[in-house]
Amino acid sequence: MENKSWTVTYRNRDNGQRITCTVFAQDRQKAQERAGADEQIGGCEVWEVESVEPHEETLARILVSEFAEKQQGGHFACPRCGKMTMDAEIVTRNALSRRATVYICDSCGMAEAMEDMANSRTPLTAWSIVAAPGNWRMEEGGNECEA
């Protein structure tokens, strides 16, 4: 089985500071173990593993946060469901996502609240904007290399 790349977020118990690094492992559990073994970063033991997520999720998060800045200056489809269901006049009238600092349409906001209650979150990699970033004019310098 091939190794996947995972983003590990460490949190400093003393001051709440966070750092991230990448580990390679076959699955989340192995990634977690490896991250735990590296916990003495910089020779101190105050770092704890806060989260381990697939690298694709990290890339999706970066894309969404880049879009969040753009979103303030234009009228876009909802980045989560891809429908033109956003309040066009004032973007902050829409729902603020619980997954990222970005506005989504009301029904997506509701869907996320339901997910939280059911404790089954949709990853950012399932968002429409991640599947088709061009529709949100997010293609410049794209990450797909067709060599």
* Residues within the interface to Zn ion (CB under 5 A): 78, 80-81, 105, 108
The half-sphere exposure of 39 on its side-chain side, counting CA atoms within 13 A, is: 14
Nearer to Zn ion, 32 or 107 (CB): 107
The least CB distance from residue 106 to Zn ion, in Å, is 8
The least CB distance from residue 2 to Zn ion, in Å, is 34
Identity of the amino acid at 92: T
The least CB distance from residue 78 to Zn ion, in Å, is 3
The contacts of residue 109 (CB under 8 Å, 6+ apart) are 94, 95, 96, 97
Nearer to Zn ion, 12 or 85 (CB): 85
The least CB distance from residue 104 to Zn ion, in Å, is 5
Q: How far is CA 50 from CA 30, 80, 131, in A?
A: 15, 25, 27
Nearer to Zn ion, 6 or 103 (CB): 103
